[in-house]
Structure 1
Amino acid sequence: MSSVTVRVPAKVNVQLSVGPLREDGYHDLVNVFHAVSIFDEVVANESESITVSVVGEWADQVPVDDGNLAVQAARALAKHAGRAYGADLVIRKAIPVAGGMAGGSADAAGALVACNELWGLGLPFEDLLEIAGDLGSDVPFALLGGTAVGTGRGEQLSELPTGGVFHWAFAVADGGLSTPRVYAECDALRAAAGAEAPWPQADEALLAALRTGDAPALGARLANDLQPAALALRPELAGILAAGRDAGALGGLVSGSGPTCAFLAADEEHARRLADALSESPSCRTALTAHGPVSGPRPA
């Protein structure tokens, strides 16, 4: 096989509860992940070495050196296999970069699946999941897809069956936000307020809404402990959140570490109307629609 193509989805965090800072520098989390139909495509071509190139709307914001997480994933897989494999990776970007939708993690997951197939390794999903956990907290879910509850630093996953399809509109802001910076701001805001970080707990009402496909109930329970920090660093996001509320979203929040804002819609047509309204917001670079849950990366 000379080439393998894998399509891998973005995610939205419908609940992100952030606990105390751990000794290892991470936070204990309850992270309810939901994969949505905005996809990057990772193509792995035969090569003597591991290289990467990026095309698409966000290509100029993605590193093409050792800092690229897909390159790190391919190298980690080759190391796990015990051979010096090569792959020329081509990433076709559609997931916003540094936007809180795990685009880099998605590309890493796509590279794991594509190279496992290209190199004929036949490694089971469990092995890929173990490698993914070493690459980053969001990579295991990017490999899994669907809807899942993540604990620990987000890498310990429990799949959550959902009772229907949820429709979303996403407002993508100009520029990105560094995830470590947002977590640091969250810690700083809590310290300034003299508030101890609570132990994170899953919202049972939110999980029930996902299981039953109840979009209004889910919209009312959307929550992100990182949102105050993202708003402190990017105050203009408050205007985007207000625009979504004014346009009739069932609920809205900053996705992950931001700055992308996610809005739950009643149906596909409502999502399109929300996106049209959001695109008029001065701080919105572009507005996208999607549905979820969708499956994780698989070879095309």
Structure 2
Amino acid sequence: MKKRKRLFLSIIFFGTILNLLLIFLGLKVLVKRLEIKINEEPKVVEAQFPYNTEFDNYNIEIKKPKLVNHYILFDYTISTKDNSPIEEDDFHITGSPSFPDTAYFVSAHDILRKVENNKMRIVNVGIIVARKDYDKYVNNFDFLVSAREKGSSKNLFEEKRVDTTIKIDGVVYPDKENYKEIKKTFKLDGIDFEVLSIGDFDFGSCIPIFVGNISEEKGKEIENKYALRIEWENINAMYNLEKWVGFYEQVIKRYSNIDPSYDKNSQYDQFYMGKIFYNQKEVNKDNVKIYLRNKETNEEVRIS
């Protein structure tokens, strides 16, 4: 009787131990699977460009956006389906992406509109004011379109316009070809001009410039007073700085939380865009000298 009792207790004991081992092994496998899922990178598919579509009387070609640290450059070709002449105000388009990290992005502004008969090229730039990871991709683009309806009056008060949104899913990775990161401050007349970068394209160069902790009035004065001067062989040309976008304290606090390099206590920040137009086939950009110049005093500082 005692032997049976001992045997019974032994069976219960070893059965309990076995169950605990099985539970432990099961939990270990489950945790391992969870670790694998957590460590797996989300599957990303690269967006397909150029993207061609139609809307109303227009053929639309969207070229691959160029993503760099401080902006995204969008390039479009628009043509009329019936080959009728196109005018600059007939068609407007602006693009914006989603960011997989945290970012502060400003919708694109036009830097180039070129009309040739029934075709128009539009190039615009959206500024990445601040971002957690400037080297990360962007994805899932929305392109907002506003077009003058076929046959509509061109009178501002009588015209008919049609709107649509073009969605393109997938990712676009940074492209640093023909792009030089500067992120350097140049002092002129006691003002700190931070030249962010120089991007070279077939139409010329884009040079975003940041001036922080000024007044809005000072921001306007800078636009009127300063310019970029380029010098190359027999070329000596001036290009005005354009006010791109400015921010007050509340917004500054928001994007300085994303990128701590900004002064969170700044009263007003202003971004400018320097646009230099030249034919790359005619100019050796490696030998071009670029200066920031006071148009009134002719004082200048070389930035490239």
**Alignment TM class, shorter chain as reference:** under 0.3
| Structure showing greater Rg | 2
TM-score by length of 2: 0.22
TM normalised by structure 1 equals 0.22
1 or 2, which has the higher helix percentage?
1
* Larger RCO: 1 or 2 (CA < 8 Å, sep 6+): 1
